[in-house]
Amino acid sequence: MNPSNQKFFSPYTFNNGVQLKNRIIMAPMTNYSSNPDGTVSEEELAYYARRSKDVSMVITACTYVTPNGKGFHNEFAGDRDEMIPSLSQLAKTIQSQGAKAILQIFHGGRMCPPELVPHGDIVSASAVPAEVAGAKTPRALTETEVEEIVDAFGETARRAIEAGYDGVEIHGANGYLIQQFFSPHSNQRDDRFGGSVEKRMTFPLAIVEKITEVVKEHADDSFIVGYRFSPEEAETTGITMADTIKLVDTLAEKDLDYLHVSLQHFLSKARRGVEDVNKTRIDYLLETIDNRVPLIGVGSIYSAEDARKAFETGVPLLALGRELIIDPDWVQKVAEGREDEIVTEINKDKQEELVVPGPLWNVIMNTPGWFPGV
C-alpha cells in the first residue's frame, strides 16, 4: 500500500465508543429498485452486498417515514411495522460483509411526485413550489401535522433499531422536507416553525430530539445517529453558508454521532453569506464544528489522489457514492497498492459485473453528466 494512503485505513472511534475499521464510507444513493410493495428487492440486496465488504459503514438509500413522504419511484418503505422484516434483511446483508449498516430516513415534502403520495397531496413548510419545471405548489402543513411527522421520524428510527441497524441518518439535505423547513425560500411560516434562522431550525431540531429520545428508550449507546445537510441553495432567497454555519454550530452541540455534508464537489467554495469566498465549504464547516463531532465529507472523489487531497483538509471520514458504483473494488485496490487500477468512468458494458440493479442502471445511462463516462 502507498504509505500516503495509511489514513484511509486507520480505525475511527465515535464519541459513543463505536469503532469503524477504516475511514471510507458508502454514501447514500437512491436506486429506484425496490419492490412495488415497498420491500427491499433481491437486486438491491445483491447491489449492497457487492459494495459492503471493504468500506467501514454503509448509509442506505433513503426510506420514507410517512406515506406522503415517498420521494422516489421504487423506494423502499420505513413508514410501518410491516416493513421491519424487509429492512432487517438489508441490514443483515450489509453487516454480513463486515460494514456497519445505517438506515437513512426522510420525508420528500414538496419534492414528492404527486402520483406517489395519497390523493396527490404534496406538503411542505409553506405553499411555495420548488424552482424546477412543472413543480406543483404544495400544501402548507398544519402545526399538528408537523408534530405528527416528527413522531413518524421517531417511529421509523424505532423500526431501524428493531430491524437490527447500527444507526440512522436523518436526511436534512438535498431539498427535502427537513431542508424545506430550514430554508427561507420554502419556509414562509409565521408560527413557531418559521421566521428567523433560529425558528427555522425548530423542525430539524425537534426531529433530532425525538430520535435521541427513541434511541435512549429502545437501543443502547452503540446506536449511531447522524445528520446530513446541504450547505447552500441556488435560489437567491435560499439557504446561505452563513445560515448553515449557524445550523451546524447548533447540531454540533446535540447528541449526534456525526454530521454529513452533501456536496457535488468536495472542494467547492462557498457562494454567499461569508466574507472569504475563496475558502471551501469544508474549511468553514470544520472550523465551525471544531472537533466536537466528526464530519463526513463527500463529492466527486474518484481516485486515491482525490481522497488524499480530501483527507488533507482534516476531514476525519470520507463517503464515496458514484465511485463505488463505477468500481465496487475501489477500497480493496487502494489497500492492495493497486490504486492505478481504479476505474474512474463507468463501463457501459458491465452492468452485470458491477451488480447494479436495472432501474438504477437505466437512470444512470439516461442522465448525461451524472456519471463520468455517460
Average pLDDT on 110-131 reads 97
Average pLDDT on 117-138 reads 95
Average pLDDT on 10-30 reads 97
Instruction: Give the pLDDT score at 134.
Output: 87
**Distance from C-alpha of 199 to C-alpha of 96, rounded to nearest angstrom:** 43
Between helices 241-251 and 202-218, what is the axis angle to 10°?
Answer: 30
User: Into how many domains does the chain fold?
Assistant: 1
Q: Within a domain: residue 255?
A: yes
User: For residue 39, is pLDDT > 80?
Assistant: yes
Q: Within a domain: residue 328?
A: yes
**Distance from C-alpha of 370 to C-alpha of 374, rounded to nearest angstrom:** 7
Query: Would you say 184 and 237 are in contact if contact means Cβ atoms under 8 Å apart?
Result: yes
| Residues catalogued as catalytic | 176
User: For residue 181, is pLDDT > 90?
Assistant: yes
Residue 128, amino acid: V
Task: Supply the DSSP string of 101-168, one letter for each residue.
Answer: EEEEEE--GGGS-GGGSGGG--EESSS---SSTTPPPPEEPPHHHHHHHHHHHHHHHHHHHHTT-SEE
Instruction: Give me the domain span that covers residue 182.
Output: 3-365
Q: Within a domain: residue 291?
A: yes
Which stretches of the chain are DSSP H helices?
A: 6-9, 42-51, 84-96, 143-162, 177-182, 197-200, 202-218, 241-251, 281-289, 304-311, 322-326, 330-335, 351-354, 358-365
Give percent above pLDDT 90 in the chain. Answer: 94
Average pLDDT on 227-253 reads 96
The rounded mean pLDDT for the chain is 96
The per-residue pLDDT for range 60-86, each reduced to its tens digit, is: 999 999 999 999 999 999 999 999 999
**Distance from C-alpha of 334 to C-alpha of 5, rounded to nearest angstrom:** 8
User: For residue 277, is pLDDT > 90?
Assistant: no
Read off the pLDDT band of 138 (50, 70, 90): very high
Instruction: Give the pLDDT score at 278.
Output: 86
User: For residue 1, is pLDDT > 80?
Assistant: no
- What is the CATH number for 202? 3.20.20.70
Q: Round to the nearest angstrom and report the end-to-end CA distance of the chain.
A: 31
Average pLDDT on 106-126 reads 97
0.95 cut: is pTM over it? Answer: yes
User: For residue 315, is pLDDT > 90?
Assistant: yes
Q: Within a domain: residue 39?
A: yes
Instruction: Give the pLDDT score at 128.
Output: 97
**Distance from C-alpha of 118 to C-alpha of 121, rounded to nearest angstrom:** 6
Instruction: Give the pLDDT score at 2.
Output: 80
Read off the pLDDT band of 7 (50, 70, 90): confident
Q: Within a domain: residue 373?
A: no
The per-residue pLDDT for range 292-302, each reduced to its tens digit, is: 999 999 999 99
Instruction: Give the pLDDT score at 32.
Output: 97
Average pLDDT on 260-268 reads 96
User: For residue 349, is pLDDT > 90?
Assistant: yes
Q: Within a domain: residue 372?
A: no
Instruction: Give the pLDDT score at 204.
Output: 98
Q: Within a domain: residue 41?
A: yes
Q: Within a domain: residue 141?
A: yes
The per-residue pLDDT for range 201-222, each reduced to its tens digit, is: 999 999 999 999 999 999 999 9
Read off the pLDDT band of 4 (50, 70, 90): confident
